[in-house]
A and B are shown apart, each in its own frame.
Chain A
């Protein structure tokens, strides 16, 4: 069973379009994240949700809007896509509370903006 899954795996779109990436975890974790990995492989946190509430927002442009319908899902909607949005986006989750700090990552979504 896949622990953290993302769809789609690849997304190619034109500048100015709006697109969404979906993430689901079946680990029963309370906290989920979105990370962006640039062309130099640097990983940077974008957002974090704990039990459907936003707890971290790393000064990401407001064209990016995360949505958490329940604690097992965290989706990322991007409006008016720009060339610089091209990257690999990773979803991750962690148990939360006083338990493990170990974050588990999804397989990534490679977004290419033309």
Chain B
């Protein structure tokens, strides 16, 4: 089946630093989504990407849909303590909106004040 490789697995950074994480796949995806999960909660959608090459921002977050359709990255600028959590990439291969999301393994982000 399809697999997404997300890296890094974990990051320990100081408040104020910028963060970058990425996902790669051996197969093509038509949609890339980035989610954040806080402890004891469900994943919350941060950014959705629909076109190859698309660069989208949401506040301090910026994500890009790779031109090959096989990768995506998420950047967080000027990190703050509340950025702590697990970040997941997810890809949707099919054109239908009720297709199957494939998730990356997650990146655990720790921000030291």
Question: Taking the complex as formed, is A55 at the interface, i.e. its CB lies under 8 A from any CB of chain B?
Answer: yes
Shortest distance in angstroms between A55's beta carbon and chain B's nearest beta carbon?
A: 6
Contact A108:B41 (CB < 8 A) given known A100-B48, A102-B48:
yes
When distances are taken between beta carbons in the complex, the residues of chain A under 8 Å from B106 are: 41-42
Shortest distance in angstroms between A28's beta carbon and chain B's nearest beta carbon?
A: 14
When distances are taken between beta carbons in the complex, the residues of chain A under 8 Å from B43 are: 43, 90, 105
Among residues of B, the one whose C-beta sits closest to the C-beta of A6 is B42
A96/B98 in contact, CB under 8 A: yes
When distances are taken between beta carbons in the complex, the residues of chain A under 8 Å from B35 are: 105
A100/B42 in contact, CB under 8 A: no
**A: interface residue count bin:** 20 to 34
Main secondary structure of the interface of A (DSSP, over half): loop
A98/B97 in contact, CB under 8 A: yes
* In the bound complex, CA of A105 to CA of B36 (Å): 11
A31/B98 in contact, CB under 8 A: yes
Question: Taking the complex as formed, is B65 at the interface, i.e. its CB lies under 8 A from any CB of chain A?
Answer: no
Contact with B along A39-64 (1 / 0, CB 8 A): 01111110010100001101000000
Shortest distance in angstroms between A14's beta carbon and chain B's nearest beta carbon?
A: 24
Contact with B along A13-45 (1 / 0, CB 8 A): 000000000000000001100000000111111
Shortest distance in angstroms between A23's beta carbon and chain B's nearest beta carbon?
A: 11
Contact with A along B43-79 (1 / 0, CB 8 A): 1110010100000000000000000000000000000
Question: Residues of B with Cβ closer than 8 Å to A?
Answer: 31, 33, 35, 37, 40-45, 48, 50, 86, 88, 92, 97-101, 103, 105-106, 108
Report 12 cross-chain contacts, Cβ distance below 8 Å, ordered by A residue.
A31-B98, A41-B108, A42-B103, A42-B106, A43-B88, A48-B98, A55-B98, A98-B97, A100-B97, A101-B92, A103-B101, A106-B42
